[in-house]
Amino acid sequence: MTKKSSRAKPLLETINSPADLRRLKEEDLLPLAQEMRTFLIDSVSRTGGHLAAGLGTVELTIALHYAFNTPDDRLVWDVGHQTYPHKILTGRRERMASLRQTGGISGFPRREESEFDAFGVGHSSTSISAALGMAVAAARTGVERQVVAVIGDGALSGGQAFEALNNAGNMDADLLVILNDNDMSISPNVGAMSNYLARILSGKVYTHIREGSKTVLSTIPPVWELAKRVEEHMKGMVMPGTLFEELGFNYFGPVDGHNLHALIRMLRNLRDLKGPRFLHVVTRKGKGYEPAEGDPCVYHGVTPFDPATGKMEKKPAGTTYTKVFGDWLCDMAARDVRLVGVTPAMREGSGLVAFSQRYPNRYFDVGIAEQHALTFAAGLACDGMKPVVAIYSTFLQRGYDQLIHDICLQNLPVLFAIDRAGLVGADGATHAGSFDYSYLRCLPNMTVMAPADENECRRLLTTGFMLNGPASVRYPRGTGPGIAIDPELESFPVGKAEIRRTGKRIALLAFGSMLAPALETGEAFDATVVNMRFVKPLDEEVVEQMARTHEWLITLEENVIAGGAGSAVNEYLMTAGIMTRVVNLGLPDHFIEHGDHRSQLASCGLDVAGIRRTILRHVKADASVVRETA
């Protein structure tokens, strides 16, 4: 008779909240970390998402929830790419199969999703500011709680992070900042020494001696100054903490972010201290998964993949707008030596890899610092360069004052290549480029262009580059309709639209990505279709022509209706005294949740079926007018 297996239930399946985690013995945490990595790789291999960063924070996440009493203690993550282990431990393990899908959980922390998500985030460098606010709120209300901000080394390059550090140190706030540094390595010997020193420096005995020495020695100023300098010198010899000490923080580290027991002891020590504390933790992106360790950049954000080999699913065929831009940038750089490329830490995402390799002396990655990127570009333009700033629509929002004050006000020739315009699918509301028509077209001197296909994108980039003032070309994520690309660097007449189809009664004025569904809709309703191309300057002549020869104007844009391209049409018609019936179609006045891009468009009525429903509802066209298509 065969004996029945008595295999124990996996540890991970017993964890439905951090309270369950804290009931485990410390020796159980290492096997739990292994199970979490296996689960994370398997889960993300099915859904796609951010992988390498989360693999690097498994032990740190376990240690944080084990040492602190979350959610009463506040845990604030920066960006959120590294929070999948956090989601798994906070009651969302079974929902990971729905990650970034319509109706599923977000790829970023969201307050609406879980009480353990103390702060919603998608953009970087916000964690310390938010955590400082929470620490001050706790002090003001008399609530005893710990507040912890976890920020990556990339996000620490953002200016807001340093503004917050400076403010927190000056306020002597009760706050712990953890730097998750995954861009350096520690050899075993140095790592062990750093762990030991950090543990000693964070211990109560050292702290009491240090504080007592301050009291005693401060009565003898020369001796106190000498003691302070000796301490700083000794700490500076073994750890890079001088900057943070000068900002008013007690610095500890660096420590090995994959040594669970050392992390837990360290965090417990720091939990008992007061004031601003800074812990430097070193982790490895992609930890525990060979393909991701070997190329953490590629495995930062992944499509579904085979966990055994790491091979990802093929992306849809066709040329992406990002590649169109990257190719154009190299071609234009060969023609004009004044061209320089600037990006705020988005080399891969914005299509600058080839340019950075071919023209390394003309390529500038300024880090996650959008404000600096724009003013830096303005400075370049002042002295004869022709800067091209490659940036996502949602990130350009972060440099808006610099766009107005430093570029538009001075009418400087800076071209903005704006990627990820419109809805972006799985990344959701934090990354959607929903507002750029609205916030750009109101700026004096700015030219705002919207290509409808790949070839237009290339030509409008050339158009903008040739202008002697600020200009923008915004294009969506992914591939276009598949239009052949002319290798020549030709431009368009500024502010001129193109009538693509001539029909009756209804004129569809399409901006950018909305041309393709407008053409299909135009066939069904025998409508005129105009490819507007320019949001600013608007082709007022063609707008007036359409208004005087059609009963209805329908504007279409993948931007919020409020203040968008349709609003520009409305404003012109009212100013010109032209009374006609206009319907504006675009993104509604609420944030669009993550999910499939097609589903997002459908939910906004911007797919062909939605456009047709709107026309029938407003225009009340009879059946003889509508030519149904198969």
Residue-wise pLDDT tens digits, 457-477: 999 999 999 999 999 999 999
pLDDT, position 202:
60
**What is the share, in percent, of the chain residues with pLDDT greater than 90?**
75
370 classed as catalytic: yes
398 classed as catalytic: yes
As a whole number of angstroms, the distance between CA 305 and CA 325 comes to: 27
Q: Is the pLDDT of residue 8 over 90?
A: no
Q: Is the pLDDT of residue 191 over 80?
A: no
Question: Residues 288, 299: contact at Cβ < 8 Å?
Answer: no
Q: Is the pLDDT of residue 581 over 90?
A: yes
Helices 204-217 + 188-202 axis angle, to 10 = 60
Low-confidence winner among 6-20, 442-456, 597-611 (lowest mean pLDDT): 6-20
pLDDT, position 197:
46
Please, where are the H alpha helices in 482-539?
Answer: 515-525
pLDDT, position 91:
95
95 classed as catalytic: no
> Catalytic one among 59, 370, 456, 557?
370
Q: Is the pLDDT of residue 199 over 70?
A: no
Q: Is the pLDDT of residue 208 over 70?
A: no
Select the more confidently predicted residue: 250 or 79: 250
What is the average per-residue pLDDT within 37-45? Answer: 94
The sign one gets for the Cα dihedral 90, 94, 99, 105 is: negative
Please, where are the H alpha helices in 100-220?
Answer: 127-141, 159-171, 188-202, 204-217
What is the average per-residue pLDDT within 442-449? Answer: 98
Most confident segment among 119-128, 303-312, 320-329: 320-329
Question: Residues 542, 508: contact at Cβ < 8 Å?
Answer: no
> Catalytic one among 285, 386, 441, 612?
285
What is the β-pairing status of strands 49-50 and 301-302?
antiparallel
pLDDT, position 81:
87
As a whole number of angstroms, the distance between CA 2 and CA 226 comes to: 76
Element of type H or E holding 386: strand 386-392
What is the average per-residue pLDDT within 332-342? Answer: 98
> Catalytic one among 74, 87, 362, 398?
398
Burial class (CB in 10 A: 0-12, 13-18, 19+), 139: middle
Question: Residues 31, 8: contact at Cβ < 8 Å?
Answer: no
pTM of the full structure: 0.86
pLDDT, position 26:
95
Nearest to 74 by CA among 170, 175, 191, 216: 175
pLDDT, position 219:
53
Exposure on the CB side of residue 507, measured as CA atoms within 13 A: 25
Contacts of 402 (CB under 8 A, 6+ apart): 370, 371, 374, 375, 378
As a whole number of angstroms, the distance between CA 451 and CA 327 comes to: 16
Taking only the tens place, the pLDDT of each residue in 389-438 is 999 999 999 999 999 999 999 999 999 999 999 999 988 899 999 999 99
Q: How confident is the model at residue 229 (pLDDT cuts 50, 70, 90)?
A: low
Low-confidence winner among 207-211, 407-411, 524-528 (lowest mean pLDDT): 207-211
Contacts of 361 (CB under 8 A, 6+ apart): none
Q: Produce one character per residue of 176-203: b if its CB has 16 or more CB atoms within 10 Å, e if not.
A: bbbbbbbeeebeeeebeebbebbbebbb
What is the average per-residue pLDDT within 226-235? Answer: 52
Q: How confident is the model at residue 262 (pLDDT cuts 50, 70, 90)?
A: very high
Neighbours of 37 (CB within 10 A): 18
Average pLDDT of the residues of the chain = 89
Low-confidence winner among 57-61, 108-112, 228-232, 419-423 (lowest mean pLDDT): 228-232
Residue with tokens 């420096």: 201
Six-digit token pair at 429?
A: 């509301």
What is the DSSP-derived secondary structure letter of residue 55?
H
Taking only the tens place, the pLDDT of each residue in 475-510 is 999 999 999 999 999 999 999 999 999 999 999 999
Question: Residues 135, 128: contact at Cβ < 8 Å?
Answer: no
> Cα torsion at 270, 271, 276, 279 (round to 10°)?
40
